[in-house]
């Protein structure tokens, strides 16, 4: 191979790298299928290697303004992996990976975000992720789940203080992602499950320990008496 031809190939490769490196993140999100995985933003800036998503959301979960980049290794393999991070003094840190190709979902998510609207009738305010991974296959079945989440309820429920939250591990159960959460006392338990489309079911159980006043207060809030205490069941979509 002649020196001239080698220089030509090198120049072509350099031009290709420059085109890819400066490719707009806004266009890449749509072409890659990341938007189909639930990521949206009010405004998208920068390139695929150094982008910014302004007021980003993952489904109904607000992520705030995050730095983002698409993994080149995933793109070469025909996959989509969006690495995102947020360093915000007011909202706190948040980081993780969004997978737009099979299996879709998120991995290694750590940090906290708000839950506007809570879980239906359950007044959840924030969700904290601790190395959380949840991924679904093309059929919408839970393919893998790991890490932990913590839900915080700042408003008292029938006089109960649950501001320290309910926490537990993420697993796959019967094709759905599931989190079996409990308070520090173990008297309050919340089982949350959801599918690949974000449809969730939640069951919040509180052991009243033979307290008639507490039982009456919970019944007034819609809780039903059951074998595991008073239970409030709700469903919706993230």
d(CA 152, CA 148): 13
Domain hosting residue 167, numbered range: 102-238
Q: Residue 182 is inside which H or E element, if any?
A: strand 176-182
Tens-digit pLDDT profile for residues 39-63? 888 998 888 887 889 998 887 788 8
What is the bridge-based pairing of β-strands 199-206 and 188-194? antiparallel
Radius of gyration of the chain (CA): 22
Mean pLDDT of the region 223-234: 85
Give yes or no: residues 160 and 223 share one domain: yes
pLDDT value, residue 1: 58
Mean pLDDT, the chain, as a whole number? 82
In a domain, 166, yes or no: yes
Tens-digit pLDDT profile for residues 168-224? 999 999 999 999 999 988 888 999 999 988 889 999 998 877 778 888 888 888 888
Mean pLDDT of the region 122-141: 91
Give yes or no: residues 78 and 130 share one domain: no
Give yes or no: residues 45 and 110 share one domain: no
Give yes or no: residues 130 and 222 share one domain: yes
In a domain, 190, yes or no: yes
Give yes or no: residues 199 and 110 share one domain: yes
In a domain, 16, yes or no: no
């Amino acid at each position: 191979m002649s020196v001239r031809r080698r220089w030509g190939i090198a120049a072509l490769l350099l031009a290709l790298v420059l085109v890819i490196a400066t490719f707009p993140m806004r266009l890449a999100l749509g072409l890659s299928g990341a938007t189909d995985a639930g990521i949206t933003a009010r405004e998208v800036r920068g390139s695929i290697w150094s982008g910014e998503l302004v007021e980003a959301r993952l489904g109904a979960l607000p992520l705030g303004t995050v730095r983002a980049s698409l993994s080149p290794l995933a793109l070469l393999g025909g996959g989509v992996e969006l690495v995102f991070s947020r360093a915000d003094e007011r909202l706190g840190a948040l980081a993780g990976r969004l997978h737009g190709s099979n299996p879709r979902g998120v991995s290694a998510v750590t940090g906290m975000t708000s839950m506007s609207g809570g879980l239906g009738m359950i007044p959840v305010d924030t969700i904290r992720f601790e190395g959380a991974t949840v991924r679904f296959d093309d059929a919408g079945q839970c393919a893998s789940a790991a890490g932990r989440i913590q839900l915080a309820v700042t408003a008292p429920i029938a006089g109960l203080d649950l501001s320290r939250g309910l926490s537990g591990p993420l697993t796959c159960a019967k094709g759905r992602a599931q989190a079996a959460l409990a308070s520090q006392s173990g008297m309050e338990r919340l089982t949350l499950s959801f599918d690949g489309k974000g449809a969730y079911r939640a069951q919040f159980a509180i052991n009243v320990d033979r307290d008639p006043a507490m039982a009456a207060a919970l019944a007034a809030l819609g809780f039903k008496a059951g074998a595991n205490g008073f239970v409030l069941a709700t469903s919706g979509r993230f």
